[in-house]
Structure 1
Amino acid sequence: MWTLDELLDRVSAALTAEYSGAPNGRVRDVPDRRAVRWYATTGLVDRPSAMRGRTALYGKRHLLQLVAVKRLQSEGRTLAEIQTELAGAADTALAAIARVPERLLESADPPPQEAVRPRFWAEPAAAPAAPPPAPPQAAPLNGVALGGGAVLLVPGTPAAADIADIAAAAQPLLDLLASRGLLTNERESP
């Protein structure tokens, strides 16, 4: 892989052989950095193969594409005509047009394998966690003794009449607990 400057050096070296330059003088003999970026934006040349930080990396195909574009421009063709001809061209077709010396193609290393970092901004946002429910603001609990060790907890403070009514209402429950041996008095008797 090459940086953009390294790629342009190779393009220049490749064009020294069999290249008469652009016929009208309005087109540069060798593309500059800006032209390569524009070619990539318009689709005339592939986008960079990889990135190393903020540095774009280019390979063999990019070299073939740029030299082919310049060779076709030297024949007087417009960029629109060139783009039509080279769109989707295989490397073998590009190599036939570009005629790049083999020595310039040799060190096109494969793109470096970098660890893929997760794209946190592309993942759907997680639903915000619901705040824990507020603890209920309960009144203090008071115990009402029902007999046999059973105690009923009630909020607030019951009056004496309330305690008598609660004990009467709880009698069926106390009888059930006694029949199952779940009250203190029943457990203690032999």
Structure 2
Amino acid sequence: MWTLDELLERVSAALAAEYPGAPNGRVRDVPDRRAVRWYATTGLVDRPSAMRGRTALYERRHLLQLVALKRLQAEGRTLADIQAELAGATDQALAALARVPEGLLDLGDPVPEPAPAREAVRPRFWAEPAAPPEPGVPPAPRPPPHPPRAPRPARQRRLSRPCPPFRQRHRPPAPPSAARPATLLTGVALGHGAVLLTPGSPTATDLADIAAAAAPLLDLLAARGLLVNERETP
């Protein structure tokens, strides 16, 4: 298995051959870390195969999916068309689209699991025996006991005076505010239970731009545990 950085290095090496690049400047030639996480959120790419601590691990199928996705984008295909074509695709179909060299599909050595950190053992000073006094040194004198406190005189209870009546101030009621017309809001799902409310009806291009711009917000919500079923923190 590979980490996310190792996966992106293999994607870049696989796209170095037979890849004309994105048709416009709005699409990256090589996906970055946030793009891969967003692809996994929207279902374009499978989620990580395993988690080792807070490190996500990926396999050959993720490499084939990312390279095939970028090659289809280079042909001018939209993300909606790519998702419809790659949904449920087998590894053989992805390999035919991605054309990844065999050397890049080698998983290599497994990532070693880091050893758990050991907490420092604090000394139990209360359980250790007291050190013997040094010869010739007198022991420290003990403080004298505190003298008993004199009893306090009983306090005389004061007669409570009745509180003056509270005067209520009558204020005229506020005039009713003019009714405002209701605004129709459209919910845009960002993934993991996050929904963006916006007036109007966004187009398919607007949805793609909103999803790309919401990647930093999703990272922040995931880091603070405010998403549903979040398994990774970038």
Pair 1:101 & 2:101 matched: yes
Tell me which residue corresponds to 1:66.
66
Cα separation, 2, equivalents of 1:63 and 1:28: 16
Contact 2:48–2:58, Cα closer than 8 Å, also in 1: yes
TM-score by length of 1: 0.57
Distance change >3 Å, CA 35–CA 6, structure 1 → 2:
same
Pair 1:18 & 2:18 matched: yes
Tell me which residue corresponds to 1:140.
none
Cα separation, 1, equivalents of 2:86 and 2:112: 27
Distance change >3 Å, CA 106–CA 79, structure 1 → 2:
same
Shift of 1:111: 9.1
Larger Rg: 1
Shift of 1:6: 0.3
Distance change >3 Å, CA 22–CA 32, structure 1 → 2:
same
* Structure having greater relative contact order (Cα 8 Å, sep ≥ 6): 2
Cα separation, 2, equivalents of 1:44 and 1:12: 18
Contact 2:12–2:30, Cα closer than 8 Å, also in 1: yes
Distance change >3 Å, CA 95–CA 111, structure 1 → 2:
farther
Per-residue displacement from partner, 1:91-150 (whole Å, max 9, x unpaired)? 00000000000000012668999xxxxxxxxxxxxxxxxxxxxxxxxxxxxxxxxxxxxx
Amino acid at match of 1:51: M
Contact 2:29–2:70, Cα closer than 8 Å, also in 1: yes
Amino acid at match of 1:95: A
Tell me which residue corresponds to 2:48.
48
Secondary structure of the residue that 1:22 maps to in structure 2? coil
Pair 1:2 & 2:6 matched: no
Contact 1:48–1:57, Cα closer than 8 Å, also in 2: yes
TM-score by length of 2: 0.46
Per-residue displacement from partner, 1:49-100 (whole Å, max 9, x unpaired)? 0011000000000000000000000000001000000000000000000000
Cα separation, 1, equivalents of 2:112 and 2:39: 24
Contact 2:2–2:111, Cα closer than 8 Å, also in 1: no
Return 5+ residue gaps in structure 1 as ranges.
114-190
Return 5+ residue gaps in structure 2 as ranges.
114-234
Secondary structure of the residue that 2:17 maps to in structure 1? coil
Paired residues, number: 113
Give identity over the alignment, percent: 84
